[in-house]
Structure 1
Amino acid sequence: MTEKNITFEDLPKAMTWMMDKLNELTSKVDNINNQSVQQPTDQWLNLKELCEYLPNHPAEQTVYGWTSCHQIPFHKRGKRIMFLKSEIDAWLHDGKIKSQKELEAEAAQFLKSKRNHIF
């Protein structure tokens, strides 16, 4: 930073510049604080909320069946079962059924890798 002698006549201009820089700095700090506050926290769902959240809106008994067979991710404290929304989202995405084209491409890739391995 260079030193500059500020005269009395330059004082209003210097104050304006300093206030602009201070406002800019405040804005940047506020943006950083807002980003850290807006980090999404994982949401807990009870059985009823889960049934409402799932696309096919299954009955509560259906979800109880899934938990007893460990087909769906869940957490249990005593008699109460709870579900993490992020785990349910991952479970829904993992259940994607591949299209015929994807299956054929996968099979072709598998055969190609086996042929190259044998010869």
Structure 2
Amino acid sequence: MRNGRPYAPSAQSPDLIAAVPTSLLLDSAATRFDPAKFTRDHATLQVNLVDRGETAVIEANGNVMIGRVDDAASAPDVTISGPRQFMLGLLFLKLPLAQLQAAGLKVEGDAAALQAMLDALDPLPGSFDIVKP
């Protein structure tokens, strides 16, 4: 404790993340949603994960963000299509949308609705000391 926390490698390896079901990842992202930062009344995002053949819908309003897997929105504000890795980059690493689009992420519809959702997600918390001297 006198010398601080020793370096410990991250437990969130790509293999671990790949094994987590998409529905649980969406639930995890929803816990970081800050309604005070959401600048729209409502937004619906459809996510097509082409590498897994999954479709998910994420809805956000001034109170909550909810994600559902194996569901399709009748009229989403925006649809993104690409491998699951791109969705993880957007929701968890907060990679810039333009960077992922340059890598091949397809965005159809109101990109401002997507950006409003992304801006309302708090960053992942870093590690922390359980006990402080």
**TM-score tier (shorter):** under 0.3
Higher strand share: 2
Q: More helix per residue: 1 or 2? A: 1
| TM-score where L is the length of structure 2 | 0.26
- Work out which of the two has the higher radius of gyration on C-alpha atoms and give 1 or 2: 1
